[in-house]
Structures are given as C-alpha cells and as structure tokens.
Amino acid sequence: MVRSNVVSDELWSVIEPVLRTAPGRRGRPWNDHRVTLEGICWRFRTGSPWRDLPAEFGAWQSVWERHRRWSADGSYERMFAAVKESTKGNDLELESLLSVDSTSVRAHQHAAGAPNLKVDPGHTGGNVELQVSAQRAS
C-alpha cells in the first residue's frame, strides 16, 4: 500500500483555489488535482522513475504531464505563494507545511572538492585530474 495523504486537508484547502480548472478544455477530463499532486510528491520522495509510479495515482504519463505543465505555467509558484500568504509570517507554521526532508537531498558526487576556479578559470577537470592521480600513484 502506498503512503498517501502527504498533502494534508489544511494544506489542500490553501492550495486548491489557486489551481486551474479545465472548463471548456478539449479532450479527456483531468484527473483529480490532489491525487496527481500526491503522485508527484510520492515520486520525488522516493526518487523513483516516473514509470514506477503506482497505479493509485493514475497513469504515470498523466502525472508527469501535469507536473511539466505546472512547472511551466507557474502553478507551483502560485501554490507556494498561497501557502506563504496563509501563514502570514508565522515561520513555524510555514515550515511545518512546507518541509524538506534532508535525508533525500543529496549533492552530486562531483560537488565535493571542486578546484578553485578563481585561480584558474579555464580549468574544468578531466584530463588534468587523471594526470594528477596517476602521478600520485607512481
């Protein structure tokens, strides 16, 4: 069973009014926004590929398409602005509604030990790093 209800009723009551509806839109009707948002949250929380999205959230293509659309049309910005407005400067309440679990935030493997580019702005790594490590090995 997939953990759902990541979006609490309190948070949903703030987010729902800023999401666009589709009156007059051609084609199939949209899936429920809340279920789709839950699917997007599940995908990013687990780090799974879109194709592994459980069927409970609908077709993975639909969830991906809505995520892409919300990213492009500013829906996520409107959601965050609505939540921030609803908390009226109460940082603790804002933090409890929009929190990022640091266990899922990782730096890229090349993020550690980067060369100082101010000293040599032309240095991009690559062959130089291989030569240095080869010299150390010998």
Query: Does residue 46 belong to any structural domain of this protein?
Result: yes
Between 38-47, 79-88, 106-115, the lowest mean confidence (pLDDT) is in: 106-115
Which carries the bigger pLDDT value, residue 72 or residue 105?
72
Please report whether residue 117 resides in a domain.
no
- Secondary structure (H, E, C), the chain: CCCCCCCCHHHHHHHHHHCCCCCCCCCCCCCCHHHHHHHHHHHHHHCCCHHHCCHHHCCHHHHHHHHHHHHHHCHHHHHHHHHHHHHCCCHHHHHHHCCCCHHHCCCCHHHCCCCCCCCCCCCCCCHHHHHHHHHHHC
Lowest mean pLDDT: which of 26-30, 61-65, 86-90, 124-128? 124-128
Joined tokens for residue 25: 């839109």
What is the reported pLDDT for 126? 52
Residue 100 lies in a domain: yes
Is 48 inside any structural domain? Answer: yes
In a domain, 135, yes or no: no
In single-letter form, the type of residue at position 106 comes to R
pLDDT per position as a tens digit, 4-18:
577 888 888 888 898
Range name among 24-38, 82-96, 99-113 with the lowest pLDDT average: 99-113
> 64 lies in which domain range?
9-104
In a domain, 15, yes or no: yes
Q: How confident is the model at residue 1 (pLDDT cuts 50, 70, 90)?
A: very low
Structural domains in the chain (count)? 1
CA–centroid distance for 78 within its chain: 15
pLDDT single digits (tens) 43-100: 888 888 999 999 999 999 999 999 998 889 888 889 888 888 887 766 666 666 555 5
Residue 122, domain member (yes or no): no
Q: Say if 128 falls within a structural domain.
A: no
